[in-house]
Amino acid sequence: MKTFSAHLKDQPPEEFQGESISAFEVLRRLKAKSPERIVAVRINGELKDLSSPLDAEAELEPVYLEQPEGLEILRHSTSHVMAEAVKALFPGVKVTIGPAIEDGFYYDFDYERPFREEDLPGIERKMKEIIEADLPFQRKEVSRREAVEFFRGQGEDYKVEIIEDLGEERVSLYTQGSFTDLCRGPHIPSTGLIKAFRLTKVAGAYWRGDENNPMLSRIYGVAFADQKTLKAYLERLEEAKKRNHVRLGAQLGLFSTHEEVGAGMIVWHPNGMMLRHIIEEFEIEEHLERGYEMVKGPTLLKTELWKKSGHFENYRDNMYFTTIDEQSYGIKPMNCLSHMLIYRSKIRSYRDLPKRYFELGTVHRHERSGVVQGLFRVREFTQDDAHILCTPEQLNDEIKGVLDFVRDVMGIFKFDYGLEISTRPEKSIGSDEDWERATEALMKAVEDIPLPYDINEGEGAFYGPKIDVKLKDALGREWQCATIQCDFTLPERFDLSFVDRDGQKKRPAMIHRVILGSIDRFIGVLIEHYAGAFPVWLSPVQAIILTVTDRSTSHGKHLLGTLRKAGIRVKGDFRNEKLGLKVREAQLMKIPYMLIVGDRECDQGGLTPRMRSGQNLPLMRAEEFVDLITEDCKQRR
């Protein structure tokens, strides 16, 4: 009888006898903790099913349900259960792919009609039947030919296409109940381990993300280790729906989108434009305080310039082009080219550096219509874009200065954040030496402060590595906004130089950076972060005057003029309507202060503020209210 040894990580090995023993049985004999919570195992570092046979020396590490890897396996297994349920309920449906994603899973289906929200309860009930049956997930390896024959026999054309594209001689299939899927695995041992799931929504998705391919129905779901965690997640989901920036954007009169205008194009309404103005004014003030100079470049630049920069080769799929007088032009997706031309317009000395050029630049990027979403993914947006040109010796201080800028601004908006350093992507320009210098510069600056960071391999810009700042909003969701990119390549391509103290020409280093990023996207994040109830300094409308009767109108209009002259963003509602209706409408608009004006206020020449929280303040003069607002606005610091 065969003998082999196995051990848990950091424990001594034990001897086992037998031709083949399942990994789970070995874990059980090794007295692994909480065997009922184990869903998979690492065998010599490789993730495997618990049913995997062992017949040679191995180090085992159990993977528990509540661990990130365990949850991913649970969610992927739940997607298989959903696919089985859909195939049982909708004869003729074809399956495509069904991966685990953050917090959940999805599966794409090709059916004679799109799936609808009302289909989800029936699919959930069928899934619960499959889960209650506690069906085992069984793995089987077959040849490519056998797999193609099997799926072709089932009419699963998409699976056949996937197998043929893989080009592998052998593939693995997983079966539970009546459903067999192409899958690398691993999976949970059986369906009964799925304790907490919910199908959340349906959407359309092109096969392989290509709009030239068929439109599929995508069903999303979430799955967690227990019902308590699922319940908390669903509550957050409901809160997120209430905070949805597209819904609130319409309710608060901020912005709209229109099919006749085009996907990814935003129409800004008066309140939204005022909000943009406040943020842009704030941005200008903050940049000027830190020694930035304001500049502006054109929207159209000749295509030859985009070829020189490398954008044409590496980024043209995201750009728009047009022809004028038989000359090709590119509509700018970024602002860096004009800033480099400004720098190159005269000889620079080391004494002139650093140069910090700042532009609220509107850019255009070609996003597929299927991915545009509210303010989060648009085709036209404005960036708080800046480029710092400095000596290599100044680079560390300049990067740290930008990180300090990010810290200060995120503190004003009450955001927590984390950092990721994204390294060289496969599609890139520049020498290995320049990429290494740039990456080391970013890492050193972050470590000098010091700040923790993660590495995001291969996700840098095509011309240089970057620090990505991930904001956390009031619901704990992450958003990408600020970016700091270090670049030695474009200064070389554009022959940028400075004269050093010895009279020699040297190359400057270049930092590409944004603080808020896309102003449009940042506004979307702010709407959801504050649930539309902006702090007073940021509110497009800070106060609204509500008259009780027509007798109060004259005094109300006088107050309106007085407050506007004092710089308060105020509106008046002088309609002959009940006060309760006016108050409710103002609360829906999330206006910080409602200024009640009735007979008493007319007699005493004042106003009575009511806060959006419902708290009533005492009657006061207009000058006292101006002081109140002014003090509120100071608190942004």
Residue type, 236: R
Lowest-confidence segment of 352-361, 399-408, 468-477, 560-569 by average pLDDT: 468-477
List 385, 434, 473, 573, catalytic entry = 385
pLDDT at 55: 81
Q: Answer yes or no: is pLDDT of 1 > 80.
A: no
Catalytic-residue membership of 317? no
Please report the pLDDT score of residue 332 as a whole number: 95
466 is catalytic: yes
What pLDDT, on a 0 to 100 scale, did the predictor assign at position 85?
Answer: 97
Q: What is the pLDDT of residue 31?
A: 85
**Distance, CA of 409 to CA of 16 (rounded, Å):** 61
Q: pTM above the 0.85 mark?
A: no
Q: What is the pLDDT of residue 637?
A: 55
**Which of 336, 390, 486, 602 is flagged as catalytic?**
336
336 labelled catalytic: yes
pLDDT at 17 over 90: no
What confidence tens digit (pLDDT) does each residue in 581-629 have? 999 999 999 999 999 999 999 999 999 999 999 999 999 999 999 999 9
User: Of 76, 218, 245, 512, which residue is the catalytic one?
Assistant: 512
Residue, of 373 and 540, whose pLDDT is higher: 540
Radius of gyration of the chain (CA): 30
Mean of pLDDT over the chain: 93
Buried b / exposed e along 250-262 (16+ C-beta atoms within 10 A):
eebebbebeeeee
CA distance 24 to 44: 15
| Domain 255-298+336-530 superfamily per CATH | Bira Bifunctional Protein; Domain 2 (3.30.930.10)
3-class DSSP state of 208: helix
The interaxial angle of helices 144-153 and 157-166, nearest 10 deg, is 170
pLDDT of the residue at 509? 93
Residues 535/503, Cβ–Cβ less than 8 Å: no
What is the residue type of 24?
Answer: F
Contact, 109 vs 199, CB < 8 A?
A: no
Peptide bond into 354 cis (omega under 30): yes
Indicate if 385 belongs to the active site.
yes
Amino acid in the structure at residue 599: D
Q: Which CATH architecture has domain 69-235?
A: 2-Layer Sandwich (3.30)
Instruction: Look at residue 29 in the predicted model and tell me its pLDDT.
Output: 86
- Go through the chain and tell me how many residues it has: 637
Instruction: Flag whether pLDDT at 76 surpasses 60.
Output: yes
Structure-derived torsion over alpha carbons of residues 220, 223, 228, 232, reported in degrees to the nearest 10: -40
Using one digit for the tens of pLDDT, what is the confidence trace for 402-441? 999 999 999 999 899 999 999 998 888 888 888 888 899 9
pLDDT at 518 over 70: yes
Does residue 53 contact residue 99 with C-beta atoms inside 8 Å?
A: no
Q: What pLDDT was estimated at residue 209?
A: 82
Task: Give the whole-number percent of the chain exceeding pLDDT 90.
Answer: 80
| pLDDT tens track for 114-161 | 999 999 999 999 999 999 999 999 999 999 999 999 999 999 999 999
CB atoms within 10 A of CB 155: 11
The Cα 350–Cα 340 span in angstroms is: 16
Domain 3-64 homologous superfamily, CATH: Beta-grasp domain (3.10.20.30)
**Greater confidence, 199 or 430?**
199
Per 3-state DSSP, the chain is made up of helix, strand and coil in percentages (nearest 5) of 40, 30, 30
Q: Measuring CA to CA, how many Å separate 536 from each of 248, 278, 523, 564?
A: 18, 11, 15, 15
Residue 197 pLDDT: 97
Please classify residue 592 by burial: count the beta carbons closer than 10 Å to its beta carbon, then call 0-12 exposed, 13-18 middle and 19+ buried. Answer: buried
Domain range list for the chain: 3-64, 69-235, 255-298+336-530, 543-634
Range 547-551 average pLDDT:
94
> Is CATH 3.40.50.800 the classification given to domain 543-634?
yes
Active site residue 365: yes
pLDDT, tens digit, 9 for 90 and up, residues 293-333 = 999 999 999 999 999 999 999 899 999 999 999 999 999 99
Query: Could you tell me the two tokens for 149?
Result: 């024959």
Calpha distance 217→197 (Å, rounded): 20
Provide the pLDDT confidence category of residue 4 given band limits of 50, 70 and 90.
Answer: confident
Q: What residue spans of 566-604 are helical by DSSP H?
A: 579-588, 599-604
Q: Are 442 and 466 in contact (CB under 8 A)?
A: yes
Which member of 76, 80, 466, 571 is catalytic?
466
Q: Indicate which residue of 383, 394, 485, 542 is catalytic.
A: 383
User: How far is residue 501 from each of residues 388, 488, 509, measured CA to CA in Å?
Assistant: 20, 21, 17
Q: Is the pLDDT of residue 370 over 80?
A: no
Identify the DSSP state of 137: P
Write down the pLDDT at residue 30.
86
- For residues 305 and 326, what is the distance between their CA atoms, to the nearest angstrom? 16
